[in-house]
């Protein structure tokens, strides 16, 4: 009898576990956003394609807002495009990985913050590894750029990288903007001087 009960309990346990997994999978699938096709989708790859030029062009075309999630950010041309957008009255906001920003001597983030660009540093993860540019999420010509491409000269000139550019697709842009706001809400605003006093210690990688 004991063996039978153990077998039955095991069967019930496996059935319950299977049901829980099914519910979890269904919940995850339900929570995953999906959008109808709209606008155009462009792909670019390095070495070869001028991804940096595409990013600069998108920033230069902004009419209201540019939001950026960055890991390593050392590319001077992209930095200059953000600074220029800020000077012409575009809302420019940047959430950057804390470690890369504070520890990488070539990082352009401190200079952008000192120029008045709104900067937050994110130390809540092992790495804030996003590379995203969102332009005019509420406009009909909303553009979202994302992929493996760090905003660095190495990514442009030496690495094998990719980006996908969603043009004229406000739904995608708004979904990425919502993700930006979630990360921004937990990050630390930074002036570009010193070390953010309220920054959390980085987790081991």
pLDDT at 194: 76
Whether residue 6 sits in one domain with residue 60: no
Whether residue 46 sits in one domain with residue 144: yes
pLDDT at 21: 43
pLDDT higher than 90, residue 150 = yes
Whether residue 50 sits in one domain with residue 6: no
pLDDT higher than 90, residue 201 = no
pLDDT at 34: 74
Q: Return the higher-pLDDT residue of 196 and 69.
A: 69
81 vs 117: CA distance, rounded Å? 12
From the list 52, 86, 122, 131, the catalytic residue is 131
Q: If you count DSSP H runs as helices and E runs as strands, how many of each does the chain have, helices first?
A: 7, 8
pLDDT in tens, 105-135: 999 999 999 999 999 999 999 999 999 999 9
- Whether residue 7 is contained in a domain is answered as yes
75 labelled catalytic: no
> Percent of the chain scored above 70 by pLDDT?
80
49 labelled catalytic: no
Least confident of 10-19, 49-58, 89-98, 169-178: 10-19
pLDDT in tens, 180-190: 999 999 999 99
200 labelled catalytic: no
Whether residue 14 sits in one domain with residue 85: no
From the list 49, 129, 141, 168, the catalytic residue is 129
Say how many domains are in the chain: 2
Mean pLDDT of 36-64: 93
- Letter string b/e over residues 63-102, b meaning 16 or more CB atoms within 10 A of that residue's CB: eebbbbbbbbbbbeebbebbbebbeeebebbbbbbbbbbb
Mean pLDDT of 35-53: 89
- Whether residue 114 is contained in a domain is answered as yes
pLDDT at 14: 46
Residue 177 backbone dihedrals phi, psi, to 5 degrees = -65, -40
pLDDT higher than 80, residue 5 = no
Residue 84: which pLDDT band, with cuts at 50, 70 and 90? very high
Whether residue 22 sits in one domain with residue 49: no
Report field, pTM of the whole predicted structure over 0.75: yes
Full domain range(s) for residue 63: 36-190
Mean pLDDT of 168-179: 97
- Whether residue 195 is contained in a domain is answered as no
- Whether residue 20 is contained in a domain is answered as yes
Mean pLDDT of 20-40: 60
From the list 49, 86, 136, 168, the catalytic residue is 136
- Whether residue 67 is contained in a domain is answered as yes
Provide the mean pLDDT of the chain: 85
């Amino acid at each position: 009898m004991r063996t039978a009960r153990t077998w039955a309990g095991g069967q019930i346990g496996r059935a319950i576990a299977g049901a829980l997994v099914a519910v979890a999978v269904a919940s995850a699938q339900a929570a995953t956003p999906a959008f109808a096709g709209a606008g155009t989708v462009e792909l670019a790859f390095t070495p070869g394609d001028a991804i940096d030029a595409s990013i600069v062009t998108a920033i230069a075309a902004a009419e209201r807002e540019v939001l950026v999630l960055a890991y390593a950010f050392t590319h001077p041309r992209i930095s200059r495009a953000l600074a220029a957008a800020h000077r012409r009255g575009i809302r420019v906001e940047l959430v950057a990985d804390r470690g890369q920003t504070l520890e990488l001597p070539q990082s352009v983030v401190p200079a952008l913050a000192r120029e008045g660009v709104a900067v937050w540093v994110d130390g809540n993860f092992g790495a804030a590894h996003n590379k995203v540019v969102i332009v005019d999420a509420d406009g009909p010509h909303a553009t979202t750029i994302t992929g493996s491409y760090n905003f660095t000269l190495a990514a442009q000139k030496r690495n094998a990288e990719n980006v996908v550019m969603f043009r004229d697709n406000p739904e995608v842009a708004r979904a990425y903007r919502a993700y930006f706001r979630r990360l921004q809400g937990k990050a630390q605003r930074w002036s570009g001087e010193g070390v953010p006093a309220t920054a959390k210690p980085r987790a081991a990688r």
